[in-house]
């Protein structure tokens, strides 16, 4: 992961059965402590974009509340059909799983 303005992240989402779904994130702007913006698309294992699947724009904001931080993630798709496609592909379950694992990791740090 190259987490800087203009950087990128090539990653695999791995199902419990081992099936991999590849993604590519381009980091547009990173404002340390406050937020970052990015675009995200499906790709193959070599990073070649899959234009048959939706891409999205992300804004992730961090708000400091003293002893806790609220993380707000807003994901925008070009159309309702694009959103429905990723929901049907399991985006909701994937996000829930990711956030639960993040919770577990953060609890270990406290």
Q: Distance of CA 110 to CAs 34, 88, 101, 104, Å?
A: 22, 36, 15, 10
Look up the domain containing 18 and give its range. 8-78
- The DSSP code for 77 is E
Tell me, yes or no, whether 63 lies in a domain: yes
pLDDT per residue, tens digit, the chain (110 aa), is 999 999 999 999 888 899 999 999 999 999 999 999 999 999 999 999 999 999 999 999 999 999 888 999 999 999 999 999 999 988 888 888 888 888 888 888 87
The domain total for the chain is 1
| Contacts (Cβ under 8 Å, ≥6 apart) of 5 | 27, 28, 29, 30
Indicate which CATH number applies to the domain containing 43.
3.30.530.20
Tell me, yes or no, whether 104 lies in a domain: no
Strand 55-64, strand 20-31: pairing:
unpaired
Q: CA nearest 9: which of 35, 36, 38? A: 38
pTM (two decimals): 0.84
């Amino acid at each position: 992961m190259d987490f800087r303005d203009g950087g990128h992240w090539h990653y695999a989402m791995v199902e419990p059965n081992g099936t991999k779904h590849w993604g590519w994130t381009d980091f547009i702007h990173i404002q340390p402590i406050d937020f970052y913006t990015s675009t995200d698309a499906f790709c193959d294992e070599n990073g070649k974009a899959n234009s048959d699947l939706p891409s999205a724009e992300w804004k992730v904001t961090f708000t400091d509340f003293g002893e806790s931080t609220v993380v707000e993630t807003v994901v925008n798709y070009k159309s309702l059909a694009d959103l429905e496609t990723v929901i049907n592909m399991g985006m909701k379950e994937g996000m829930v799983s990711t956030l639960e694992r993040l919770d577990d990791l953060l609890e270990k740090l406290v």
